[in-house]
Structure 1
Amino acid sequence: MQLTLDLQLACHFDQIPSEAQFQLWAEKALEQFRDDAELTIRIADEDESQSLNSQYRGKDKPTNVLSFPFDAPPGIELPLIGDLIICPQVVYSESVEQEKAFHDHFAHMVIHGCLHLLGFDHINEQDAVEMETLEKQILATLDIADPYRDEY
């Protein structure tokens, strides 16, 4: 798998994962679906996350990850799959609340977001089970525990 990653650090937050970690996590999420891909991951503060979440999802609060798939015009072949906007403040708060390691939860958000960019979703139960199963399998290859352990 050949991944071209554009990592944008648009805010400061302690203990942001390294570019190599983001690269690895995205590659793990995409490798069974794509031979090559281009992806932007933007690390955004709570204000930017809230603004985008409000504008695109109608939810006026910051969120952990937003996915913006790239839809190429007909006849145009590009490896670009889209953009992820991740808010480290929300990811950190969730990791504390859910008693998960910060970087493990960050890995989950990258993988979750990448799967959304590929067209996976969790709107209905059948799709949610499919997506969560993939997330668990991919995270297991990184020695990261099942992130849904408390939900069942």
Structure 2
Amino acid sequence: MNVDLVIEDERWAALDLGLLAGQAAQIVADHLALTPPDGQGFEISLLACDDARIAALNADFRDKPLPTNVLSWPSEDRAPDKPGGAPRPPSDPELGDIAIAYETCQREAVAQDKKFPAHVTHLLVHGMLHLLGYDHIDDKDAALMEGLEVEILGKMSISNPYI
């Protein structure tokens, strides 16, 4: 898994985010038995930013001018045809872009009494699943996505984040 990492907020430098993201993305791909269409590997872009930057992105793309923990932009529509169904497999090795905000992630980790790297890993897995067409708009889709997150994080020795 190739991760193109752009660090805009230097606080992310204390965490080996590129390695963490690469491992998380590879475990997601392996868990879902995805094969890159080019045979070379999948690619994602990751922006490690702050709350101000992610709030601007959230306003631009979702009309919600507030910070959030993670945003994702798939390179193609992979959404399933029906709620609770599996998304279509990627036809492009470039999966898309993810942005993650330091302050929100830090604040959530403290509030939820979670270790920062484990919480960030959960959000990276969450973002990856969005790139692959999973969503949580309705109950069936949310149950499927959250179940996958728990299984994938378990493979990384990270406990269920939804407990």
Match of 1:6 in 2: 4
125-134 or 40-49, larger mean C-alpha shift:
40-49
Count of aligned positions: 143
- The whole-number CA distance in structure 2 between the counterparts of 1:23 and 1:54 is 28
Match of 1:141 in 2: 155
* TM, length-normalised to structure 1: 0.88
**1:28 is the counterpart of 2:33:** no
- The whole-number CA distance in structure 2 between the counterparts of 1:33 and 1:56 is 30
- The whole-number CA distance in structure 1 between the counterparts of 2:150 and 2:111 is 20
- The whole-number CA distance in structure 2 between the counterparts of 1:78 and 1:30 is 14
Q: How does 1:2-151 map to 2 (within 5 A)?
A: 3-13=1-11, 15-31=14-30, 32-35=32-35, 36-71=41-76, 78-149=92-163
- The whole-number CA distance in structure 2 between the counterparts of 1:18 and 1:135 is 19
* TM, length-normalised to structure 2: 0.83
- The whole-number CA distance in structure 2 between the counterparts of 1:18 and 1:69 is 20
Deviations 1:61-87 (A, max 9, x none): 111000001029xxxx53001000001
Could you tell me whether the CA contact under 8 Å between 1:53 and 1:62 is conserved in 2?
yes
- The whole-number CA distance in structure 2 between the counterparts of 1:18 and 1:114 is 14
24-33 or 60-69, larger mean C-alpha shift:
24-33
The letter for the 2-side match of 1:55 is D
SS at match of 2:158: coil
- The whole-number CA distance in structure 1 between the counterparts of 2:102 and 2:17 is 13
Unaligned runs of 5+ in 1: none
SS at match of 1:122: coil
Question: CA, structure 1 residues 33+66, in 2 after alignment: closer, same or farther (shift >3 Å)?
Answer: farther
The letter for the 1-side match of 2:34 is R
- The whole-number CA distance in structure 1 between the counterparts of 2:33 and 2:98 is 18
SS at match of 1:13: helix
Could you tell me whether the CA contact under 8 Å between 1:121 and 1:127 is conserved in 2?
yes
- The whole-number CA distance in structure 2 between the counterparts of 1:111 and 1:43 is 15
CA RMSD of aligned residues (A): 1.4
- The whole-number CA distance in structure 1 between the counterparts of 2:153 and 2:57 is 27
Q: Percent identity between the aligned chains? A: 34
The letter for the 2-side match of 1:148 is Y
